[in-house]
Structure 1
Amino acid sequence: MGTLGLLLVGKTILVAVIGRLFGVSLISAVRVGLLLAPGGEFAFVAFGEAVNQGIMTSQLSSLLFLVVGISMAITPWLSAGGQLIASRFEQQDVRSLLPVESETDDLKDHIIICGFGRVGQVYSNLILCFVKLLLKSLPSFFHSERLIPFVALDVRSDRVAVGRALDLPVYFGDAGSREVLHKIGAERACAAAITLDTPGANYRTVWALSKYFPNVKTFVRAHDVDHGLNLEKAGATAVVPETLEPSLQLAAAVLAQAKLPMSEIAATINEFRTRHLSELTELCETSGSSLGYGFSRVVIKPKSQPSDSTDDSQISEGTLAA
């Protein structure tokens, strides 16, 4: 019984931790862990060969055969336990939050927000502000919710529920799943903003979009330069360092407290941003990547432009980073 408990608890914890690293919700990760906790048929082959090779004694193999057999027999009860945990701790039935193809079949050239956490919510609010400005300049008969050109995904039901309460097109689903992406019309989308909480989840989503929906331009935040390079190799269109802009905003606040003129602060911040992005580009090119940390795909500076145009391109780089 001790060996059986060690097998089931150990594998459940291991699989749940791996699931969390790849952006799966905690409840789903535990349920998957319980389903994969029992041993498999290959154990009988492996243990038998281990006895033949003298690696394992026949007494130990008999014990392990019994443990694996019992664990396989109780799989239905482990599955029922996972369902019970989900029903107790999930805030609501996620089936009502799943994307339905009929709800998104009229979307075209829309933006997919992968992750409705802090960054994803800010991004959706920015889009809504843009749409409201657009509506003010259009005749009244154009006023429609269909002008909101985005759909969001998240694996946490509480975040999805918050979005739904605000009447936003937020759905429960794994952004790295080809089926889920198809249900929200990824083949008709123009871009995706990937703002998931973990590097593994960001990488998997970029890879899935690049492989199955290459028409979608992917914009993703990176924890550091190495993470950014890996995301570019996975197919990201542009990678934004997540620490750059918060650091610049904090520095601007400190300089403002020191009674420095706002014009000088803005000029200093813009100069540092431009220089930092240029250094990242050179670093990536030196390391064998011509992507320039993502920005050379998006911001292309003409070779012969007057000085005022150059300033505009630098402003574009700063805007993209923000």
Structure 2
Amino acid sequence: MQDHILFSIVLLLTLTVIIVSLSRRIHVPPILNYIFVGIIVGPYGFEWIRSEGNIHFLAEFGIVFLLFSIGLEFSLSQMIAMRKQVFGLGTAQVFITTLLAFIIGEVVGLDRVTNIIVASAFALSSTAIVIKQLSEQSEIQSRHGKSAVGILIFQDIMAIPLLILIPALGTASADALANDLAIAFLKGAFVVVVMLLAGRYLLRPLFHEVASSKSSELFTLTVLTVVLTAAAFTEEMDISMTLGAFLAGMMLGETEFRHQIESDIKPFQNILLGLFFITVGMMISPMIVIENWAMIALITLGIFVVKGSVIYGMMKYGFKKEEGVALRTALSVSQVGEFGLVLITLALSYSLITGELGQLLLTSAVMSMMISAFLIKFNGRITKRIFSKTYQQNFIDIEHKIEIDTQYLKDHVILCGFGRVGQTTAKFLKTSGVPYLALDLDITRVKEAQQAGERVFYGDSSRQSILEATHIESAKILIITFSDYHSTLKIIRAVKNLRTDLPILVRTTDDSHVNDILEAGATEVVPDIFESSIMLASHLLLMIGHPPSQVLRQTREVRKNRYRFLDNFYPGEMDVSTSEQHQVIGSIIQTIPLEESAYGVGKRLRELPFKDMNITVQGIKRGSVRGDSPDDKTRLRAHDILIVAGLPEDVEKITSFIRLGR
């Protein structure tokens, strides 16, 4: 029974649920949880799963969906837009790091094949960790953020030949290694061309047809079929199935269905990624790790030193970047990533690396991923500590330029962000003769705007010193034009520390964070969804013949009472599932059917505690007739449907009272 694959999966899932539930209370990183589960159930733990075949099957299955999700995030348009960073920084980082790691491997006595694999694996970084952490810190558009993204994109491209290389090394004969490798790469090139052509001429029409059926089940089934077909195709060509999954993700990521695919696959994507890390844990022996902890620490330190030094030196001396930008990029991208784990795992499955060495390498790679989360989080503080003089001088220079160029501004508007919304706002201000200045972190956009004569400056709006340089003391209003929740809160806090009376207008994509932003100190919050709804409704009324004056009056009334209109919506299943969501969505509208035995039957509305429970009676539906805003003398009858509005918890209380009298 221990070798039965279904039993193995059930055992893994059960143990994972228990451990993840317990560890979430002490905020243990998810990767550690999964690896710990793998160690427990694996052949070096309690041996609940001993079959090598089961382990390799689970590992391959997890890797397939890991690489599919990475491929889905890959953007060809982004690669073209960032070609200087991708093919400049990215190319130099990968090849120089691989060369240095290879030389170190030769010095310590690794055999040639093992050395190639280790050097290649350690040259790659974690796209998932870096992008997620930088995005949360609002640094993805900064100079070091863009440099890091450019490097990661090229690393993803380099994964394609590496995924071809390892199976070729595993099956090639010693006498004909060069010939076998050449054939493998020709096969790989053929596979890439066929898959890209299939994605362009077959997948897009296929998904258009599937989408027209409006069946979510059929759509999800088609996605899974495409992924597994691509994986099976590359495996039949004697190439790793993971390459097929990665290419399938890249193909689907370039279609208009990308976001729907992400939404459909998300419910089980994290589970499958967890499955991959579980299989990594199965390959780790706690005894070997304990016995070789010094070696693991040395390898982990070596990863950061070698990769960090290469990236820092390359950016500072090769690409003439500032010390602070170079170091922050190096701190962000100096770990080993998911592709590195995949390459080592594949090498183990093809017996290209010994089991003990593989365990040391996997453990060191995982340790680097864990430590990197903290390095990325505190990259600014670390850089400021190391380059206190030059780093601070850079900000002083930026602040001085802003202060000098805006010294005569008064009663002006400060625009935080100069993207499409910021530029549109600036055009209105310019037409109205209102002075303004804009801050943005996109250096290319800033240079273009400055050349065109716009008063736009490079600067982080969340830094108090930058805001002071904009003469915030004489500003009329500050507008946050980009929609980033974490950045918005940081900016509001910085502004309030300088001027508590300055009005702050905030743009957000939806109304999920409106209350939090208002509590932080924003004067007004404008959700895109709310405004687009108003515009859609206005055009609708005009097209069906309503007078423009009436439409204008209605839209003014709606905007005037915006916060009331953000409340009182009929909730879906997901809207009222947790108390946290109750706080976000505000008031809801609920219908309460009255059965003959209900306590409220025969009672007048004024006899029921609606006001005490902060409930508004919207209407009463009696038969097929609905009466809105009923008089408080109205008596409720059996089979009436009472329509009320209020906070979810208050609605729940009044519903219970009307039905049971308590």
Match of 2:421 in 1: 119
- For 1:6 and 1:212, locate their aligned partners in 2 and report how far apart those are by CA, in whole Å: 48
Match of 1:81 in 2: 314
Q: 1:79 aligns to what SS in structure 2? A: helix
> How far has the Cα of 1:249 moved from its partner?
1.4
- For 1:221 and 1:154, locate their aligned partners in 2 and report how far apart those are by CA, in whole Å: 15
1:18 aligns with 2:320: no
> How far has the Cα of 1:216 moved from its partner?
2.9
The 5-angstrom pairing of residues 66-215 of structure 1 reads: 66-83=299-316, 98=398, 100=401, 101-131=403-433, 148-215=434-501
AA aligned opposite 2:500:
P
1:12–1:225 CA distance, 2 compared to 1 (3 A): closer
- For 1:257 and 1:29, locate their aligned partners in 2 and report how far apart those are by CA, in whole Å: 46
User: Cα RMSD over matched residues?
Assistant: 3.7
What runs of 5+ residues in structure 1 fail to find an aligned partner? 36-52, 88-93, 132-147, 289-322
> How far has the Cα of 1:154 moved from its partner?
0.8
The 5-angstrom pairing of residues 57-68 of structure 1 reads: 57-68=290-301
- For 1:194 and 1:56, locate their aligned partners in 2 and report how far apart those are by CA, in whole Å: 50
- For 1:282 and 1:259, locate their aligned partners in 2 and report how far apart those are by CA, in whole Å: 28
- For 2:517 and 2:313, locate their aligned partners in 1 and report how far apart those are by CA, in whole Å: 38
1:214–1:272 CA distance, 2 compared to 1 (3 A): closer
Match of 2:145 in 1: 29
- For 2:122 and 2:497, locate their aligned partners in 1 and report how far apart those are by CA, in whole Å: 36
The 5-angstrom pairing of residues 291-306 of structure 1 reads: none
Q: 2:482 aligns to what SS in structure 1? A: coil
> How far has the Cα of 1:29 moved from its partner?
0.9
In the alignment, is the contact (CA less than 8 A) between 1:108 and 1:188 conserved in 2? Answer: yes
Structure with max Cα Rg? 2
- For 1:252 and 1:245, locate their aligned partners in 2 and report how far apart those are by CA, in whole Å: 11
What runs of 5+ residues in structure 2 fail to find an aligned partner? 1-100, 102-116, 152-285, 322-393, 570-581, 585-662
Q: 1:122 aligns to what SS in structure 2? A: helix
How many positions carry a matched residue from both structures? 246
Match of 1:258 in 2: 544
Match of 1:240 in 2: 526
Match of 2:162 in 1: none
Q: 1:109 aligns to what SS in structure 2? A: coil
- TM-score (norm. length: structure 1): 0.63
- TM-score (norm. length: structure 2): 0.33
- For 1:70 and 1:281, locate their aligned partners in 2 and report how far apart those are by CA, in whole Å: 52
In the alignment, is the contact (CA less than 8 A) between 1:30 and 1:82 conserved in 2? Answer: no
1:160–1:258 CA distance, 2 compared to 1 (3 A): same
Q: Which moved more, 1:274-283 or 1:170-179?
A: 274-283
> How far has the Cα of 1:240 moved from its partner?
2.0
> How far has the Cα of 1:54 moved from its partner?
8.1
Match of 1:223 in 2: 509
1:276–1:183 CA distance, 2 compared to 1 (3 A): closer
- For 2:447 and 2:413, locate their aligned partners in 1 and report how far apart those are by CA, in whole Å: 20
Q: Which moved more, 1:263-272 or 1:231-240?
A: 263-272
AA aligned opposite 2:536:
L
> How far has the Cα of 1:71 moved from its partner?
2.2
- For 1:16 and 1:82, locate their aligned partners in 2 and report how far apart those are by CA, in whole Å: 19
- For 2:515 and 2:139, locate their aligned partners in 1 and report how far apart those are by CA, in whole Å: 20
In the alignment, is the contact (CA less than 8 A) between 1:187 and 1:215 conserved in 2? Answer: no
Match of 1:135 in 2: none
- For 2:500 and 2:470, locate their aligned partners in 1 and report how far apart those are by CA, in whole Å: 15
- For 1:27 and 1:5, locate their aligned partners in 2 and report how far apart those are by CA, in whole Å: 26
